[in-house]
Amino acid sequence: MSQYNSDSLRWTSEAKIKLKNIPFFARSQAQARIEQLARQAEQDVVTPELVEQARLEFGQ
C-alpha cells in the first residue's frame, strides 16, 4: 500500500506527520487501520485524532 494513495480519503498534513512517527515496519498496517476507522466514521478526511485513536488501539 503506498502512503496516502487512498482512493477516497484525504490526509491532513498533521495526520501525515503523525503517521510518519509510526515505525516503518508497522506503518502500512497502521495506515490501513486508520483508513478503516475513517471509513467506519463516514469521514473522507484522515485527521490527527483518527491517527491517535488507532495508536491507542495498537497500544503504542
pLDDT in tens, 1-56: 445 555 679 999 999 999 999 999 989 999 999 999 999 999 999 999 999 988 88
Boundaries of every domain in the chain: 10-58
Model pLDDT, residue 28:
93
Strand-pair partners of 46: 11
**b/e map of 16-26 (b: 16 or more CB within 10 Å)?**
eebbeebeeee
Q: Tell me the whole-structure pTM to 2 decimals.
A: 0.79
User: CA–CA distance from 11 to each of 17, 37, 59 (Å)?
Assistant: 10, 13, 22
Q: Which top CATH class is 10-58?
A: mainly alpha
